[in-house]
Structure 1
Amino acid sequence: MSFTYNRLDVDQCIFLFVDHQSGLIQLVNDYQQHEFQKNVMALAKVAQYYKSPAVLTTSFDTGPNGPIVKEITDLLPNAPLIRRPGQINAMDNDDFVNEIKKTGRKQIVISGVLTEICVAFPALSLIEQGYEVFVVTDASGTFAEHTREAAHKRMAAAGCQLLNWAAVAGEIHRDWRRDIQGFGAIWRDHIPGYWCLMQSYDAAQNAK
């Protein structure tokens, strides 16, 4: 079977943050809350670091789903926020679709809450429309691990690629030498133990 490795490209990708809302996030049980928060913030920092286009969206945020968490809008203040009045699949909202199309980009990095609904539905729609879809598994959350695994299998079978936020960052970055301090700072702040590695590196550099 032939295979073409199409890497994430900083000039071709767009980040979609779907329904990271204060009400919905309380339903996330496949990750501990503090772990999930760090993962979502790390992904938002990756989008910010690469100055990549991003689109934020919420579902019925005047109801129990609640508003988008402010940490994302703080990190990505220029990203359009599409407040869907009721559509469950974000791709059923014309404003959301148009924001994606305006970028002209075909690689979609998507995360959201809940994984099997708010991520899977638009991811499958995007695959159907010819996009490359990269699902960020650890910045997407849901009720339980078994529902997450079912969603992952469904998306993977359709052609979605599953990876975590660190893999997204690394695949785009390509080479540590491009920017050790800036790239490393994201890892330092969001990967347990990596702060010690960065301290060791800094100490070695200062000792030269």
Structure 2
Amino acid sequence: MTSEPRRDPLTDPLLTPENSALVVIDFQPTQVAAVHSMDAALMTKNVVTLARIATTFGLPIVLSTVNVAKGQPPTVAELKAVLAESAEIDRTQINAWEDIEFRAAVEATGRRQLVISALWTEACLAYPTLDALREGYEVFPVVDAIGGTSEEAHRAGLRRVEAAGAQPVSWVSVATELQRDWARRDTAVPIREIVVVDRLMKE
């Protein structure tokens, strides 16, 4: 039971707390209500868990909303409670990558691996993913923490970004890839609590 020496966390080809950032786009009540590709309550629980994982590992987080300034409700309360330290970048663009402040926030993280959760899959997930890929980022859509307006739209959106080079992941795989070794005690206990105790053993 001897672990290899830890790889350089900046050049590791897998996700590490030092090379990745979490991007969360448009988890607002109106968008959640229009999701029909999976159970909306479960999807919301999954993105909240993803946010807990990201904060546990200290990932930079970019949180964006659309049209709050025009009267749309902000990020759903249970997610915002976890991301209380993350300012919401409000936009009018459907494609967040075309918003100057959003792009600047992503670039400011200094990370090239983007774990992304956005509503809806076929639009606000697909468009910034495609643009980020074109600019040399690696993008990891979290398939069980996103949703489309129909099952067909969700699948088509995922196929489109995967064909362009996106790497679909799940919230569990994000947690275990960032943790990688249970001997890393500083995060092993809280991650086991979040993933195993709070979720997998209760479902």
For the pair 1:135 / 2:141, whether they are aligned, the reply is yes
Unaligned runs of 5+ in 1: 197-208
Q: Deviations over 1:63-89 (max 9, x none)?
A: 5752111222211222231011x1110
Give 1:129 deviation, angstroms.
0.7
Alignment of 1:137-156 (within 5 A): 137-156=143-162
Identity %: 34
2:109 partner amino acid: T
Q: Which moved more, 1:172-181 or 1:146-155?
A: 172-181
For the pair 1:170 / 2:176, whether they are aligned, the reply is yes
Partner of 1:102: 108
For the pair 1:19 / 2:26, whether they are aligned, the reply is yes
The alignment's TM-score, normalised by the length of structure 2, stands at: 0.88
Work out whether residues 21 and 111 of structure 2, in 8 Å CA contact, stay in contact via their aligned partners in 1: yes
CA RMSD of aligned residues (A): 1.6
1:83 aligned residue (70, 83, 90): 90
2:61 aligned residue (47, 54, 57): 54
Q: Deviations over 1:37-83 (max 9, x none)?
A: 21111111111111110010011124575211122221122223101
Work out whether residues 69 and 90 of structure 2, in 8 Å CA contact, stay in contact via their aligned partners in 1: no
Q: Is the radius of gyration larger for structure 1 or structure 2?
A: 1
Q: Deviations over 1:96-143 (max 9, x none)?
A: 110111121111000111111011100001001110101111111112
The alignment's TM-score, normalised by the length of structure 1, stands at: 0.86
Give 1:168 deviation, angstroms.
0.7
For the pair 1:121 / 2:127, whether they are aligned, the reply is yes
Unaligned runs of 5+ in 2: 1-11
Q: 1-side partners of 2:84 and 2:77: how far apart?
A: 10
For the pair 1:10 / 2:17, whether they are aligned, the reply is yes
Work out whether residues 46 and 169 of structure 1, in 8 Å CA contact, stay in contact via their aligned partners in 2: yes
